[in-house]
Amino acid sequence: MTEKEKCNLGLLYDANYDPELLSDRETAKEQLYDYNRLRPSQQTERTELLKKLLGRTGESLIIEPPFACDYGYNIEIGENFYANVNLVILDGAKVKIGDNAFIAPNVGIYTAGHPLNVSQRNQGLEYAYPVTIGHNVWIGAGVIILPGVTVGDNVVIGAGSVVTKDIPDNSLAVGNPCRVVRKIGKV
């Protein structure tokens, strides 16, 4: 079984030394280098580069540079997507984001984690669990979303939150750890 196959199954895999994964990350870094250095007036070129890098996108998307990710091909975003500066997505596993998502500055979405066992960690092993973010979601500035989390539809995550567990539909959630403080209605 390849390291990529182990990753896709949620098993520990070698992310640091596997030639295939290293090559995939190098390809993404090259594309991101170009993307992050385009002029603001080159929005068409920015969109074209994102559509090449990412696994799936809608037609209307903006990610303000700088943007960083591991592979790109594991990221799927819906229509009418906007992310402000300094978005980081560690996409060892799938990251799916629905339509009408709005992401504030300095947000991190992480599918990757490392074992607590020091010898496994020192071998370069890690795991990756998918992250799913629903439709009509607003993620506030400085939010961290950890591996395996699902954020439901019509959710607002307050600035500075650390999302460690699933957040149900129609919720306002804040804090560290992030927790639902109340339900919110659809307009």
Provide the 3-class DSSP secondary structure of residue 100.
Answer: coil
The encoded tokens of residue 27 equal: 């390809």
Say how far apart CA 126 and CA 128 lie, in whole Å.
Answer: 7
DSSP assignment of 69-93, as one string?
ES-STTEEE-SSEEE-SSEEEE-SS
Of 4, 25, 96, 114, catalytic:
114
Residue 114 annotated among the catalytic residues of the structure: yes
CA angle 172, 104, 102 (to 5 degrees): 70
Helix axes 43-53, 19-36, angle to 10 degrees: 170
Q: How far apart are CA 113 and CA 11, in angstroms?
A: 11
**d(C-alpha 72, C-alpha 79), whole Å:** 17
**Helix, strand, coil percentages, rounded to 5, for the chain:** 20, 30, 50
Q: Which residues are catalytic?
A: 114
